[in-house]
C-alpha cells in the first residue's frame, strides 16, 4: 500500500483514483436524490390504494430505510482500504 513516492508526494495514480472516487460519489448521491422522492410518492400512492404490505413502501417505510443503509454502506466501503 504505497501511496507516496520517494519524495513524499502523492503519485499521479493516487490522485486520479481520489478524483474518480469523488466524482462517482457525487453522481451516486445525485441519482439517489433524483429517484427516491419519486419512489416515495409512488409508495404512498400504492399504500393509499389498499395493496397488502403497501405500508412497507411509504416514504417512512422499511424499504427506504434499507436503501439509505445500503447507500451508507457503499460509501463507507468505497473509502476503506482494500486489504491487498
Q: Which residues on neighbouring strands pair with residue 4, listed in sequence order?
A: 10
- Answer whether residue 6 is part of any domain: no
**Total domains present in the chain:** 1
Range of the domain at 72: 12-78
With respect to residue 20, please indicate whether it lies within any of the assigned structural domains.
yes
Q: What is the DSSP string of 3-62?
A: -B-TTSPBPHHHHHHHHHHHHHHHHHHHHHHHHHHHHHHHHHHHHHTT-TTGGGGSTTSH
pLDDT digits (tens, 9 = 90+) for 34-65: 999 999 999 999 999 999 999 999 988 899 89
Q: What is the pLDDT of residue 14?
A: 79
84 assigned to some structural domain: no
For residue 45, what pLDDT is reported? 94
- Res 7: pLDDT: 63
Instruction: Extract the C-alpha cell encoding 25.
Output: 460519489
Amino acid at each position: 500500500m504505497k501511496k507516496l513516492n520517494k519524495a513524499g508526494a502523492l503519485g499521479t495514480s493516487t490522485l486520479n483514483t481520489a478524483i474518480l472516487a469523488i466524482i462517482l460519489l457525487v453522481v451516486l448521491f445525485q441519482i439517489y436524490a433524483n429517484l427516491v422522492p419519486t419512489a416515495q410518492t409512488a409508495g404512498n400512492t400504492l399504500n393509499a390504494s389498499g395493496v397488502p404490505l403497501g405500508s412497507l413502501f411509504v416514504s417512512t417505510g422499511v424499504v427506504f430505510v434499507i436503501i439509505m443503509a445500503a447507500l451508507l454502506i457503499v460509501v463507507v466501503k468505497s473509502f476503506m482500504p482494500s486489504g491487498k
